[in-house]
Amino acid sequence: MTETDSTTLRCPGCREARGTLGLLSILRKLKSTPDQEVRILLLGLDNGGKTTLLKQLASEDISHITPTQGFNIKSVQSQGFKLNVWDIGGQRKIRPYWKNYFENTDVLIYVIDSADRKRFEETGQELAELLEEEKLSGVPVLVFANKQDLLTAAPASEIAEGLNLHTIRDRVWQIQSCSALTGEGVQDGMNWVCKSVNSRRK
């Protein structure tokens, strides 16, 4: 028996919807105590593809995506596991509120538009500031180098070098090429997330 919840909260009102989420294969890899909750924070600049990624994970329709004005939450309960993914809007005016969601984060997923080279510096600064946050200290970081389906996309290795990811010493991290649109690379990234959660909780 699987129970799924899909909730979208927007400012000022909120809307609730229910859908079928395709995360069972990921959840089965999380071997630990019953009813374990995993909190994943999904951040990145606006238009990076966070909501598309979230819907791809949830096996939902991605043909109509609107910018996230508040935040989206998706939760899945299965076999004693509950995975909570918080997708926070990335517009400049919303970013100061990111800190309200840092508490009890198990994994930070940071999404980058690999084809938007003009904003690499901006996205790098935001990521650097997140890594300095006390409440995110030691939290594993997965960087999704998204939009690899575009011909203009920079490879993950180039982005990793530009963001100086190799200088990160206080936590485990991974950069994963992906396309939220096609789903390519998304599962590989989430497998890494599961391994990171398990190793931290042993």
Q: Please write the tens of the pLDDT for every residue from 25-49.
A: 666 665 544 557 889 999 999 999 9
Residue set of the binding site for GTP: 44-51, 90, 146-149
* Residue in this structure with the two tokens 């400012």, named with its chain if needed: 11
- Whether this prediction's pTM lies above 0.85 is answered by no
In the 8-state DSSP scheme, what is residue 80?
A: T
Task: Name, of 8-12, 17-21, 86-90, 119-123, the range with top average pLDDT.
Answer: 119-123
Task: Name, of 11-20, 132-141, 186-195, the range with top average pLDDT.
Answer: 132-141
CB 62 within 8 A of CB 52: yes
Residue 20 pLDDT more than 70?
no
CB 109 within 8 A of CB 57: no
Beta-bridge mates of residue 85: 40, 74
Residue set of the binding site: 44-51, 68, 90, 146-149
Radius of gyration of the chain (CA): 16
Please name which of 138, 127, 108 lies closest in space to residue 165, comparing C-alpha atoms: 127
Q: Which of 69, 79, 91, 125 is catalytic?
A: 91
Residue 10 pLDDT more than 50?
no
Q: Confirm whether 91 is a catalytic residue.
A: yes
- Residue type at 40? I
Q: Please write the tens of the pLDDT for every residue from 69-99.
A: 788 888 754 334 567 889 999 999 999 999 9
pLDDT at position 13 is: 40
Residue 118 pLDDT more than 80?
yes
CB 189 within 8 A of CB 148: no
Give me the torsion for CA of 13, 16, 22, 24, rounded to 10°.
Answer: 110
Q: State whether residue 87 is helix, strand or coil.
A: strand
Query: Per-residue confidence at 59, pLDDT binned at 50, 70, 90?
Result: confident
pLDDT at position 11 is: 43
Question: What proportion of the chain, given as a percentage, has pLDDT over 70?
Answer: 79
Query: Per-residue confidence at 23, pLDDT binned at 50, 70, 90?
Result: low
- Please name the fold of domain 2-201: Rossmann fold (3.40.50)
Query: Per-residue confidence at 17, pLDDT binned at 50, 70, 90?
Result: very low
Average pLDDT, the chain: 83
Give every CB contact of residue 178 below 8 A, 6+ residues apart in sequence: 53, 144, 145, 146, 148, 184, 185, 186, 188, 189
Please name which of 90, 106, 98 lies closest in space to residue 130, comparing C-alpha atoms: 98
Residue set of the binding site for Mg(2+): 51, 68
Please report, for the chain, the start and end positions of each structural domain, with discontinuous segments joined by +.
2-201
Higher pLDDT, 78 or 109: 109
The CA-CA-CA angle for residues 197, 35, 75, to 5°, reads 75
Q: Where are the beta strands (DSSP E) in the chain?
A: 2-9, 14-17, 36-43, 71-78, 81-88, 107-113, 141-146, 173-177
pLDDT at position 44 is: 97
